[in-house]
């Protein structure tokens, strides 16, 4: 049977299969990996442990604050021993700064593995 391109269907499929097989072999020889596999490994080995570690911090942080104050701030970043907290209003920023020392002491006591040295409050969304 001849297709629209003039090639026999069987020969065309065999050629495609051969090309695909050769391409896959070449990728394996070069060390090419699938992006999905790489991302899965990254999530499992690096991001998930950090998320688990800082999820506890986020939970404790929100429990330490009064409900009204907790609604107006979120943990933004944790790096180098500093916790960055975004606050949606300067009024709540002021209140958080007033209780910042006590909040830092409690977080250090309840989350010693995170090794918090400082809390930075910033107005932002």
Q: pLDDT tens-digit profile of 11-48?
A: 556 666 677 667 666 666 666 667 777 667 766 665 55
Domains within the chain, CATH numbers bracketed: 32-123 (3.30.300.180)
d(C-alpha 58, C-alpha 22), whole Å? 50
The pTM assigned to this predicted structure is 0.58
Name the 3-class secondary structure at 29. helix
pLDDT in tens, 45-101: 655 555 666 788 888 988 999 998 989 998 888 888 999 999 999 999 999 999 999
Q: What is the pLDDT of residue 2?
A: 43
């Amino acid at each position: 049977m001849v297709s629209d391109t003039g090639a026999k269907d069987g020969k065309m499929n065999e050629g495609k299969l051969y090309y695909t097989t050769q391409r896959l072999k070449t990728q394996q020889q070069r060390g090419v990996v699938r992006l999905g596999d790489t991302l899965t490994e990254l999530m499992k080995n690096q991001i998930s442990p950090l998320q688990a570690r800082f999820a506890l911090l986020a939970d404790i942080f929100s429990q330490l604050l009064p409900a009204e104050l907790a609604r107006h701030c979120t943990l933004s970043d944790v790096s180098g021993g500093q916790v960055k907290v975004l606050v949606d209003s300067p009024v709540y920023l002021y209140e958080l700064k007033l209780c910042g020392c006590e909040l830092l002491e409690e977080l250090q006591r309840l989350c010693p593995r995170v090794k918090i040295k400082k809390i930075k409050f910033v107005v932002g969304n």
